[in-house]
């Protein structure tokens, strides 16, 4: 059993950047669990299959291979929307959680980021972080990212989308987004990524 670092939080809170940096620093493998929901959703969309049939969605989830998940081909807005729809289905979650738990056993250690890592996927993880930021700050970061990439963005629409996703993630009956009782809270609203990383590093070093 490797050392597991569980990182949860809402969309666009900075989990991804932080997780990748932690994984690199400690030589651990990283799994962005949002990609498992996105890849399952994309497979359904590509096959022209419905998003509201739990049995069909579960079958797709069970066929997923963790190798080669790539955010750049899974980042489209409609894939994110479809992912959060199938993420409310208990049998889809069960299938993907099993794959995530198998990943978390890899040596020498792993970093998993998502919504339910500290609460459901790896409840025994020795380090749990809950990374958050205000919805305004998260929407602004997403907006800046799109503009920096040369795209066009509408702040109002992004802000509404962030809030809708939060509601869906926090309001679902199965594994809602919430901090584990023993998670360390990192509010990055007014914190640089460097400061967040240093805070995380101190917690990890103390637990290693
Ligand atoms: O993090 P990302 O935006 O890629 O996740 C896509 C969707 O997958 C989220 O909106 C959420 O509904 C779902 N998800 C989840 N549990 C996870 C990771 C993602 O329900 N551990």
Is 66 buried (19+), middle (13-18) or exposed (0-12) by CB count in 10 A?
middle
pLDDT per residue as tens digits for the range 41-88: 999 999 999 999 999 999 999 999 999 899 989 989 899 989 989 999
177: CATH = 3.40.50.300
Distance in Å, CA 88 to ligand 1 centroid: 10
Strands in 3-8's sheet, in edge-to-edge order, are: 29-32, 109-114, 3-8, 127-132, 184-187
pLDDT at 91 over 80: yes
Distance in angstroms (rounded) separating the CA atoms of residues 33 and 47: 22
pLDDT value at 206 more than 80: yes
Q: Encode pLDDT of 161-170 as tens digits.
A: 999 989 999 9
Angle 155-171/135-148 helices, nearest 10 degrees?
Answer: 130
Tally of domains in the chain? 1
pLDDT of the residue at 30? 97
- Domain assignment of residue 20, given as a range: 3-207
Q: Check pocket membership of 122 for ligand 1, CB cut-off 6 A.
A: no
Asked if residue 201 has pLDDT above 90, the reply is yes
pLDDT at 77: 86
User: Which ipTM score applies to this complex?
Assistant: 0.98
Q: Which residue CA neighbors atom 10 of ligand 1 most closely?
A: 84
């Amino acid at each position: 059993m490797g050392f597991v670092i569980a990182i949860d939080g809402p969309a666009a809170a900075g989990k991804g950047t932080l997780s990748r940096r932690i994984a690199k620093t400690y030589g651990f493998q990283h799994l962005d669990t949002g990609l498992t929901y996105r890849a399952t959703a994309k497979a359904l969309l590509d096959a022209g299959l419905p998003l509201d049939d739990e049995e069909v969605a579960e079958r797709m989830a069970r066929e997923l291979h963790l190798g080669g998940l790539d955010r750049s081909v899974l980042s489209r807005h409609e894939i994110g929307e479809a992912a959060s729809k199938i993420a409310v289905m208990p049998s889809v979650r069960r299938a993907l959680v099993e794959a995530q738990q198998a990943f978390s056993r890899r040596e020498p250690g792993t970093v998993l980021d998502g919504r339910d890592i500290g609460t459901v996927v790896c409840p025994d993880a020795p380090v749990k972080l809950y990374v958050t930021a205000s919805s305004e700050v998260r929407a602004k970061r997403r907006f800046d990212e799109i503009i920096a990439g040369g795209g066009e963005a509408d702040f109002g629409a992004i802000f509404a989308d962030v809030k809708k996703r939060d509601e869906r993630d926090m309001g679902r009956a199965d594994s809602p987004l919430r901090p584990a009782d023993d998670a360390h809270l990192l509010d990055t609203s007014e914190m640089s990524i460097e400061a967040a990383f240093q805070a995380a590093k101190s917690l990890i070093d103390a637990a290693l």
